[in-house]
Amino acid sequence: MEAFLSSLGLVALAEMGDKTQLLAAVLAIRFRKPWAIIAGILAATLANHYLAALLGTVAAAWLASPAFRVAIGVSFLAMAAWTLIPDELDEGEQKAPRYGPFLTTLVVFFLVEMGDKTQLATVALGARFNDVLVVTAGTTLGMMLANAPVVLLGNKLLAKVDFVLVRRVAALLFFGLGLWTIWDALS
């Protein structure tokens, strides 16, 4: 339960104001097909985060040592700092889509999530908890909790969120998990 709740909470908070959340709003405005977009986000996130959690779990098993666990803790500390930096959509991510809402969302979300802080957090969570399915379920639900309301409610919802506060809370959680992971590795 700890792996699931940690994964869910960290990713849901880290996703607030992230470029994929902004992308969800743009897709919702362009297509006006919320359920196809939500399905695309779900499919892309399941695939992306499964692979990320698997990578973290394999790496942790391969490098099962206190030094690697400290490195995972340090990666959570880096995530804490990165979370404080707001994201913006790139110019290329705002071009008119060529395909329907599901396929466009699936492909764009999968690609935009590559190397994103929530994907890297999923790698670290997979390494920390060594449970691919539970981490994938938690991080995917976190992504859906952050993105589905944006697709359904659009800019009205985004305008009411204090992203500075959300980023600070997410950074604090990443920082705490980082310190805890380092302490656990050294004790």
Q: Which of the pair, 77 or 37, is modelled with greater confidence?
A: 37
Mean pLDDT along residues 103-110:
90
- DSSP type of residue 18: -
Question: Residue 87's pLDDT is what?
Answer: 57
pLDDT tops 60 at residue 95: no
Answer yes or no: is pLDDT of 49 > 50.
yes
Burial classification of residue 159, based on how many CB atoms lie within 10 Å of its CB (0-12 exposed, 13-18 middle, 19 or more buried): exposed
Report the pLDDT averaged over residues 36-48.
96
Predicted local confidence at residue 157, as pLDDT:
62
- Which pLDDT does position 81 carry in this prediction? 77
Percent with pLDDT over 70 in the chain: 86
Task: Report, as an integer, the average pLDDT of 133-158.
Answer: 88
pLDDT of residue 88: 62
Q: What pLDDT score was predicted for residue 163? A: 67
DSSP per-residue string spanning the chain: -HHHHHHHHHHHHHHTT-HHHHHHHHHHHHH--HHHHHHHHHHHHHHHHHHHHHHHHHHHHHT-SHHHHHHHHHHHHHHHHHHTSPP---GGGGSPPSS-HHHHHHHHHHHHHTT-HHHHHHHHHHHHH--HHHHHHHHHHHHHHHHHHHHHHTHHHHHH--HHHHHHHHHHHHHHHHHHHHHHHH-
For residue 93, the model assigns a pLDDT of: 47
Predicted confidence (pLDDT) per residue in 13-39, tens digit: 888 877 788 788 878 877 878 999 999
Instruction: Give the pLDDT score at 90.
Output: 54
Q: From CA 64, how far away is CA 89, in angstroms rounded?
A: 37
- Residue 137 pLDDT > 80: yes
* Highest averaged pLDDT of the listed ranges 22-26, 40-44, 152-156, 173-177: 40-44
Give the per-residue pLDDT at 155.
60
Mean pLDDT for the stretch of residues 76-104: 68
Contact by Cβ (8 Å): 179, 81: no
Q: What is the pLDDT of residues 51-63, one digit of tens each?
A: 999 999 988 877 7
Q: What is the pLDDT of residue 36?
A: 95
Question: How far is Cα 131 from Cα 54, in angstroms, rounded to an integer?
Answer: 8
pLDDT at 26: 79
